[in-house]
Structure 1
Amino acid sequence: MKHIYLIFSSILIFSFFTNCGGNKGLQDRAPAKFQAVYTTTENSRLNLHIPVTVIQDSRISLDSVYFRGMKSALVQNEELPNKYVAEFNIKDSEMVMSSDPREEYGNKAPQKPEKSPFDIESDEAILVFSQNNQKKYYKLSDITDWN
């Protein structure tokens, strides 16, 4: 009887650890149907555009993205609701330094580098999304630069 209890306990513990570890890995299935992902550059900003053709809004929420050593929140475009955009500061813009704080009002803080939880190439990004209140990751590949 002790052997059966030991075997059953081992199987239960093993399945618990394998299920928990699997939630933190990259997802094989895309959380939505995407068109070609691309970037544009404006002044000191790099914008990552993620066009979505089909998504289940009630179950899936696109949260943020890791791209080229940075992390940024994804914002749904107001004019085109099927497009999500992440904005990255890529250049140090000139900052106004003054004894009058009102003159420094327009200064933007530089974006801090943030390492991706997975190894990716320069034409790849890690999409962070929530599905049924669980945080998950998906790799976006073949990102093109439009300039």
Structure 2
Amino acid sequence: MTKILFFFAAIFTLALFASCGSNKDLQERAPAQFSDVYYTYNSDGIELNIPVVSIQDQLISLDAVYFHGMKSALKKSEEQANLYVANFRMGMGDTVMHEDPEEEYGNTPPQLPEESPFSIEKDEAIIVFTQDDKIKYYKLTGIVEKD
């Protein structure tokens, strides 16, 4: 019985130390070459635009971004080549308020806050990307608001 207990304790300790090796670290090298990153306010909230000068699509996948206390998926723009866009709903659009709840169907709720795994300022964002089947993080700085 003692051997079984010792065996499980050893496995638990090994698993604990193995999980420490998977800490999240910011990458120093950019996953792509970025142009000037900017955001705009629209009727739904914030639209973050990330122009990409060059990226190796077959090796790197830009997945999501943390910005202004929220997380959103990054999608390639259909209108502009090499532009990735993230939309953050802030509930700023028209909202239908009615005594009949069915009339309010279609109202989009604001996006819930989601804390970034790293500390960032108002003009910074964290890109979540996949490279070699591993999730990695990169900090974008100097993000400006455009009209």
TM-score (norm 2): 0.80
Partner SS, residue 138 of structure 2: strand
Q: 1:93 to 1:80 in 2, by over 3 A?
A: closer
Total equivalences in the alignment: 131
- Alignment of 1:146 with 2:146, yes or no, is yes
- The RMSD of aligned alpha carbons is 2.2
Contact 2:40-2:47 at 8 Å conserved across structures: yes
What is the aligned partner in structure 2 of residue 29 from structure 1?
Answer: 29
What is the aligned partner in structure 1 of residue 72 from structure 2?
Answer: 72
Provide structure 2 residue ranges, at least 5 long, that are not aligned to the other structure. 1-13
What is the aligned partner in structure 2 of residue 61 from structure 1?
Answer: 61
Provide structure 1 residue ranges, at least 5 long, that are not aligned to the other structure. 1-12
- Runs ≥4 in structure 1, deviation > 6 angstroms? none
Cα distance, 1:41 vs. partner?
A: 1.1
Give distance in 1, aligned partners of 2:83 and 2:93: 27
- Alignment of 1:135 with 2:139, yes or no, is no
Per-residue CA distance 1:63-91 (angstroms, 9 max, x = gap): 00000111111110012130000011234
Give the residue type in structure 2 aligned to 1:20. Answer: G
Q: 1:97 to 1:90 in 2, by over 3 A?
A: closer
Give distance in 2, aligned partners of 1:100 and 1:142: 43
What is the aligned partner in structure 2 of residue 20 from structure 1?
Answer: 21
Cα distance, 1:20 vs. partner?
A: 2.6
Partner SS, residue 49 of structure 2: strand
